[in-house]
Chain A
Amino acid sequence: MKKQNYNETGLITADYPVFTKEMKATHKLLIPQMAPIHFRLIVEVFRQDGYDVEVLKNDGPSVVREGQQYVHNDACYPAILVIGQFIDALKSGAYDLDKTALIITQTGGGCRASNYIHLLRKALVKAGFPQIPVASLNFSGLERNSGFRLSLPMIGKALAACLYGDELMALYNQIKPYELRKGETDLLLNVWQQRIISCFAEGKGLKRREMQDIFECMAEDFSKIAVKRTQKTKVGIVGEIYVKYSPLGNNQLEEFLLKENCEINMPGLTGFLQYCISNVSQTISLYGGSELVKNVCRRALDFVVSREQLMVDAIKKHDNLRAPGLFSRTRELAQKFINLGAKMGEGWLLTGEMAELIETGFHNIICAQPFGCLPNHIVGKGMISKLRAYYPEANITPIDYDPSATKVNQENRIKLMIASAAESLRIAKESDRTSGHVIGGAGKDDFLINIKKVTGSLYL
Chain B
Amino acid sequence: MVLCAGACAIPCFYILSNEGNFVKIGLDVGSTTIKAAVLSDDNRLLFSKYERHFSQINTKAAQLLAEIQAQFYGAQNFQLCVSGSAGMGLAELCEIPFEQEVFATRVCAKQFAPQADVIIELGGEDAKILFLSGLSDARMNGSCAGGTGAFIDQMATLLKLTPEQLNEKAKEHEKIYSIASRCGVFAKSDIQPLLNQGARVEDICASILYCVVNQTVAGLAQGRPIEGNVMYLGGPLTFMSELRLAFDNVLHNTGILPQNSLYFVALGAALQARGYHSLSDIQLRLTTRQKKSSFAHTKPFFESQQAYEQFAARHAGAQVLEKSLKDSSGKAHLGIDAGSTTLKAVLIDEQGDILFSSYRSNSANPVPLVKEILEHIYEECPDILLCSVTTTGYGEQLCREAFNADYGVVETMAHFAAAKRFQPDVDFIIDIGGQDMKCFQVEDGAISNIFLNEACSSGCGSFLQTFASALGQDIDSFAKLGLFADAPVELGSRCTVFMNSSVKQAQKDGASIENISAGLSLSVVKNALYKVIRASDPSELGQNVVVQGGTFYNDAVLRAFENEMGIEVTRPSIAGLMGAYGAALYGREQSSKEHRSSVLSKAELHDFSHRVQTTRCKLCTNHCELTVNHFSGGRRFISGNRCDRPTTNRKAEQTLNIYEYKLQLLDQYKPVPGPRGKVGIPLGLNMLELLPFWHTLLTRLGFEMHMSPKSSRELYFDGQQTIPSDTVCYPAKLMHGHIHALCSMEGIDTIFYPCMTYNVDEKLGDNHFNCPVVAYYPEVIDANCTAQLEGKKFIYDYVGIHRPNDFVANFTTALTKYFTGITTSAVGRATIAAYREYRAYLRRVRKRGEQIIQTAREKKKPIIVLAGRPYHVDNEINHGIDQLIVSQGAAVISEDCVSHLMNKENVRVLNQWTYHARLYAAARYIINEPDMNLVQLVSFGCGLDAVTADEVREILQRGNKLYTQIKIDEIANLGAVNIRLRSLFAALDAQAKNSAKKEAI
Give the B-binding residues of A (Cβ under 8 A): 6, 9-12, 15, 60-61, 64-65, 68-70, 72-76, 109-112, 114-115, 117-119, 121-122, 126-127, 142, 283, 286-289, 337-339, 341-345, 371-379, 381-386, 389, 392, 398, 400, 402-413, 415-416, 418-420, 423
Contacts and interface: CB of A to CB of B under 8 A. Distances in A.
Nearest to A382: B780
Interface stretch (B243-251, B766-774, B873-881): B766-774
Given A406-B504, A412-B88, A75 B947 contact: yes
A265 B802 CA distance: 40
B798 A339 contact: yes
B755 A341 contact: yes
A372 B941 contact: yes
A408 B944 contact: no
Interface string B941-960: 10111110110000100110
A402 B757 contact: no
26 contacts: A9-B924, A11-B907, A61-B296, A72-B534, A73-B493, A73-B946, A118-B947, A119-B947, A288-B803, A338-B779, A371-B727, A374-B771, A377-B724, A377-B725, A378-B779, A382-B779, A386-B784, A402-B494, A403-B494, A404-B495, A404-B498, A408-B89, A410-B143, A416-B100, A419-B99, A419-B103
A345 B943 CA distance: 13
B140 interface: yes
Q: Which of B755, B757, B907, B945 has the most CB of A within 10 A?
A: B757
Given A287-B800, A408-B505, A420 B103 contact: yes
Contacts of B491: 404
A308 B727 CA distance: 37
B144 A75 contact: no
Interface in B917-952: 924, 927-928, 941, 943-947, 949-950
Nearest to B87: A412
Contacts of A376: 725
Nearest to B804: A288
Contacts of A76: 943, 946
Interface string B797-824: 1111011011101100000000000000
A341 B757 contact: yes
B135 interface: yes
B958 A344 contact: no
A378 to B, nearest CB: 4
Contacts of B727: 371-372, 377, 400
Q: Which of A76, A338, A392 has the most CB of B within 10 A?
A: A338
Contacts of B958: 6, 10
Q: Which of B100, B138, B499, B913 has the most CB of A within 10 A?
A: B100
B537 interface: yes
B717 interface: no
A385 B223 contact: yes
B924 A371 contact: no
B783 interface: yes
Contact of A344 (B100, B772, B803): B772
A404 B506 CA distance: 12
Listed from nearest, the 6 A-B pairs whose CB atoms lie closest are A288-B806, A287-B800, A419-B103, A61-B296, A74-B946, A341-B798
A375 B955 CA distance: 28
A67 to B, nearest CB: 10
A283 B908 contact: no
A68 B783 contact: no
A110 B905 contact: no
Interface in B697-731: 724-725, 727-728
B758 to A, nearest CB: 7
Contacts of A337: 783
User: Which bucket holds chain B's interface residue count?
Assistant: 35 or more
B258 interface: no
A384 B798 CA distance: 21
B927 A382 contact: no
A316 B703 CA distance: 54
B776 A10 contact: no
Contact of A411 (B88, B498, B798): B88
A344 B757 contact: yes
A410 to B, nearest CB: 8
Given A11-B907, A339-B797, 17 more contacts: A64-B492, A68-B530, A75-B943, A75-B947, A110-B771, A112-B944, A122-B950, A127-B536, A287-B800, A339-B798, A345-B772, A377-B724, A381-B724, A389-B786, A404-B491, A404-B493, A406-B498
B725 A115 contact: no
B317 interface: no
Q: Which of A6, A109, A407, A419 has the most CB of B within 10 A?
A: A419
Q: Which of B222, B772, B944, B955 has the most CB of A within 10 A?
A: B772
B724 A126 contact: no
B909 interface: yes
Majority secondary structure of chain A interface residues (helix, strand, loop or mixed): helix
Interface of B: 85-86, 88-89, 98-103, 135, 138, 140, 142-144, 222-223, 296, 490-495, 498-499, 501-502, 504-505, 508, 526, 530-531, 534, 536-537, 724-725, 727-728, 732, 755, 757-758, 769-773, 775-777, 779-780, 782-784, 786, 797-800, 802-803, 805-807, 809-810, 905-910, 912-913, 924, 927-928, 941, 943-947, 949-950, 955, 958-959
Given A11-B924, A69-B530, A402-B494, A372 B943 contact: yes
B498 A287 contact: no
B943 A112 contact: yes
Contacts of B296: 60-61
Q: Which of A11, A375, A389 has the most CB of B within 10 A?
A: A11
Q: Which of A74, A111, A339, A411 has the most CB of B within 10 A?
A: A74
A283 B798 CA distance: 10
B494 A287 contact: no
B568 to A, nearest CB: 21
Contacts of B959: 10
Contacts of B928: 9
Given A65-B490, A378-B772, A385-B222, A114 B501 contact: no
B956 to A, nearest CB: 8
A372 B943 CA distance: 7
Contacts of B103: 416, 419-420, 423
Contacts of A415: 88, 98, 100
B505 to A, nearest CB: 4
Contacts of B800: 286-288
Contacts of A9: 905, 924, 927-928
A195 B62 CA distance: 55
Contacts of B944: 112, 374
B806 A110 contact: no
B927 A10 contact: yes
Given A10-B959, A373-B943, A382-B780, A405 B498 contact: yes
B775 A11 contact: no
A226 B443 CA distance: 73
Contacts of A419: 99-100, 102-103
Contacts of B927: 9-10
A375 B772 contact: yes
Contacts of A70: 536
A109 B98 CA distance: 45
Nearest to B531: A73
A383 B950 contact: no
B947 A72 contact: yes
B226 to A, nearest CB: 16
Contacts of B783: 337-338, 382-383, 385-386
A287 B803 contact: yes
A338 B732 CA distance: 18
Contacts of A74: 943, 945-946, 949
A72 B906 contact: no
A212 to B, nearest CB: 38
A62 to B, nearest CB: 9
Given A110-B771, A110-B772, A386-B783, A115 B910 contact: yes
A376 B913 CA distance: 18
A344 B223 contact: no
